[in-house]
Structure 1
Amino acid sequence: MLHIDPRALFSRQEVALVLITAVWGGTFLAVHIAVQYSGPWFFVGMRFLTAGFISAVVFARVLRGIRPLDIVAGSAIGVMIFLGYGLQTVGLQTISSSTSAFITALYVPLVPVLQWIVFRKPPRFLTWIGAGLAFAGLVLLAGPGSAGLAFGPGEIETLVSTVPIAAEIILIGWFAGKVDLGRVTVLQLLVAGALGFLAMPLAGETVPAFSWVGVGAAVALGAASCVIQLTMNWAQKSVSPTKATIIYAAEPVWAAVIGRAAGERLPPAALVGAGCIVVGALVSELRLRSRRRARAATLPLAGIEGTAGLVHQHGNGTD
C-alpha cells in the first residue's frame, strides 16, 4: 500500500502559514459580528491598541534604541492601517464577511498600479492581466443589473479601504532595511489604535455599552495579530515568496467557507466574481522567468520579496 508522508508535501512552516491564513479568513466574520455590538472606530481602537501593547512586551528590548526614522515609519504606516482597516470595519457593518474579504483582496493587483503612479515604475504584463481579472470579478461580485452596479455603502467603503491598504504595503517596502522591524511594528499598531479612538467623536460615535462580545473580539483579534506576526517572521524565512503568495491568496476563500458555515450565501455570479478576484491576485504576483533565473530562484532566499511577502511579514490587521 502506497504511503505518502505529509512532511514530504508540506513543511512545518508551510502548514503554519496555511493555518494562520485560515485564521485571517475567520477574522472577517469575527469583525462582522463584533461591530453589531460596538461602533467600528471604537473596535478599531481596542483591536490595534491591544495588539500594540502585546507587541511592546514582545519587542521591549529593541524599543530602548528607538530612532526618529522608526517613529516616522511607524506613524506613516499606522495612519494607513487606521484608514484601511477602519474603512473595512465600517463596511462590515452592512455587508457580509465573504464579500468584504473578496473585495479586500483587490489590494494585491492594486499595489503595482500605485507604484506606477507614485514611482513611475511600470507594472509587468501579468500585473495588468491580474488587475483586469480582479476588476471583472469585482463587477460580478457587485451584481450588475439594469440600473448599473449594485454598490451599496458597505461595498464602496471596503473598496476605498484597499487604497490605504495598498499604500501601507508600499510604505513598508520603502522603509524596509532602513528601520527596525520590532520598533515599527509596535509603533504602527499603537498609532492605528490611538487614531481609532480619536476618530470616534468625528464620526459621532460614543463609547458603547459594555459587551463581552465586542470587547472580547477586539482583544482576541489584537492578540491574534501578534501571534500571526511572530509566525510569519518565523515561517517566511524558509518559504519562498511564490509559495507564500499562493497560500495567502486563499484568505478570502477561507472567509467564504467560514462565512457559509455561519449562514452567509453568495449568489452564483458573485461566486464566479470572487474566483476571478483570487485568480487575478495570483496572476498579478506571477513572474515569467527563464530557466537560468528559475534555477537561481530555488536557492535560499535572504529576505522577503513581493507584495504578499511584504504585507504579511509586517503583520497589519486583516491578520
Structure 2
Amino acid sequence: MTRLRANLLLMLAAIIWGSSFVVQQVGTGNLGTISFTGARFLVGACMVFPFALKQFRRVHLRERRFQQKDWLALALTGTVLLTAAVLQQHGILRTTVTNSGFLTALYVPMVPFLGFLFLRRKVHFVVWPASICCFIGTYIMSGAHEVELVDGDFWVISSTIFWATHVMLVGALASRTRAPLVVAATQFAVCGTLGLVLGAVIESPVMADYVGAVWGICYIGIFSVGMAFTLQVVGQRYTPAADAAIILSSETVFAAIGGMVFLGEHLSLLQFMGGALIFVSIIAVEVVPQFATGKARALD
C-alpha cells in the first residue's frame, strides 16, 4: 500500500470519528460511561474478528510467528485504549461536541514530542509547525477563546495523553506484527472485556440500560470502532505516528460539522478558517516530504 492510500484511510477514519461525537453525546441513554465503552468495543471486536483470524493464520504461518511479548503489548494497547476512551466519553457527556472535538486534538502535538522524548524517534521538520497549526486551528474552531472551560473539558484533556500513547503503540505494533487486523481485533477485545467487567463492578448497569443504548452501541461499535479504528491501524502501518496524528486531527472539523448539522451548534467564519488551517497542515505533511525526496533525487 502506498503512503497516499494509507493517509486517505486515516482521513476516512477521521470523518467517521468526527460524526460519532454526536452519537456519543446523545446515544448513551442511561448506560454508564465504562459500560458503554466496553459494549461498543466488543461490537467492534466481533465485527473485525473473522478477518483478523484469517490474517493471523497467514502471517503466523508464513511471515513471522507471534510471540508472548506481542500479545502482552497488544493487551497494553487495549488497556490504554480503554482509559483514553472512558475519559473522553465521560467528558463528552459534560461539554459540547465542538469543544470535545477540539480538546481531543491536543494529542496531535503530543505524539511527535512523546515519540522523540521516549523513543528517540525523529520526524520530518514539517511535522512540528504542522502540529502547532493543527492545534491553533482546533483552538479557533472550538471558539475556546470565547467560552470558559467546563468540568467535561478537563476529562477530555486528560484523555489526550492516552490517545497520544495509543497512536504510538498502534503504529509500532502494526509495523512489528505485519498484521494490522489482528492488532485491531485484539485491542478491541481487551478494551471491551475490561470495560464490561469494570462497568459491572463500578456502575452496576441493568439490561434495560443496555437496551436503551443499543442503537448508540451498534452505531459506534460498527462504524467508529470496527471501521474507523481498524482503518487507523491499517493506515499507520505505512504512515509515521506523528504524521498520522496530524491527519487524524481532522476529526475536529467533522465533529464541528456534525454538531452544526445535528445539534444546532453554529460555526463562525473565523471557525471555518480554523478548519481550513487544519487541512493546510495535513496537506503540508503529505506534500512537503515527497517534494523534498523528489528534489533530492533530481540533484543526484
TM-score range, shorter chain: 0.7 to 0.9
User: Is 2:167–2:241's contact at 8 Å kept on the other side of the alignment?
Assistant: no
Distance in 1 separating the partners of 2:187 and 2:226: 13
Secondary structure, in 3 states, of the residue corresponding to 1:178?
A: helix
SS of 1:95's partner is: coil
Scaled by the length of structure 2, the TM-score of the pair is 0.74
Length, aligned pairs only: 283
Question: Where do residues 76-225 of structure 1 align in structure 2 (5 Å cutoff)?
Answer: 76-121=76-121, 125-136=125-136, 141=142, 143-144=144-145, 150-179=148-177, 180-200=179-199, 204-208=202-206, 209-210=208-209, 212-224=211-223, 225=225
1:316 aligns with: none
Trace 1:1-319 onto structure 2 (pairs within 5 A): 21-63=14-56, 65=60, 67-121=67-121, 125-136=125-136, 141=142, 143-144=144-145, 150-179=148-177, 180-200=179-199, 204-208=202-206, 209-210=208-209, 212-224=211-223, 225-228=225-228, 248-266=248-266, 268=268, 271=271, 275=275, 278=278, 282=282, 285=285, 288-289=288-289, 293-294=293-294
Shift of the 242–94 alpha-carbon distance from structure 1 to 2, 3 Å rule, reads: closer
**What is the deviation of 1:220?**
2.7
- Provide the C-alpha distance between the structure 2 equivalents of 1:84 and 1:27, rounded to a whole number of angstroms: 16
CA contact (8 A) 2:104 2:157 kept: yes
Q: Which amino acid aligns with 1:181?
A: P
Helix, strand or coil: the match of 1:265?
coil
Cα deviation for residue 77 of structure 1 reads: 1.1
Seen in structure 2, the aligned counterparts of structure 1 residues 178 and 246 have a Cα distance that, compared at 3 Å, is closer
CA-CA distance at 1:271 after TM superposition = 2.6
| Separation (CA, whole Å) in 1 of partners of 2:109 and 2:281 | 6
Aligned amino acid, residue 180 of structure 2: L
Task: Please tell me the residue identity of whatever aligns with 2:34.
Answer: W
Q: Deviations over 1:169-208 (max 9, x none)?
A: 2112333432233332221111111221233266x42215
Shift of 1:217: 1.6
Shift of 1:260: 0.8
In 1, the alpha carbon distance for the partners of 2:92 and 2:212 equals 16
- Root-mean-square deviation over aligned CA pairs: 4.1
Distance 2:290 2:215 in 1: 51
Give the 3 Å change call, closer, same or farther, for CA 161–288 of structure 1 in structure 2. Answer: same
CA contact (8 A) 1:21 1:248 kept: yes
Classify the secondary structure of the residue corresponding to 2:205.
coil
Residue segments in structure 1 that go unaligned for 5+ positions in a row: 1-10, 298-319
- Residue 170 of structure 2 aligns to which amino acid in structure 1? I
After the TM superposition, which of the residue ranges 250-259 and 160-169 deviates more from structure 2?
250-259
1:266-310, CA deviations, whole angstroms, 9 ceiling, x for partnerless residues? 57498379548736863884674585613689xxxxxxxxxxxxx
More helix by share: 2
* Identity percentage of aligned residues: 22
Give CA-to-partner distance per residue, 1:232-278, whole Å, 9 cap, x none. 78889999999988874532222211211123425749837954873
Q: 1:279 to 1:93 in 2, by over 3 A?
A: same
The 10-residue stretch of structure 1 (83-92 or 32-41) with the greater mean CA deviation from structure 2: 32-41
Question: Which secondary structure state, in structure 2, belongs to the residue aligned with residue 177 of structure 1?
Answer: helix
Output the TM-score relative to the length of structure 1: 0.70
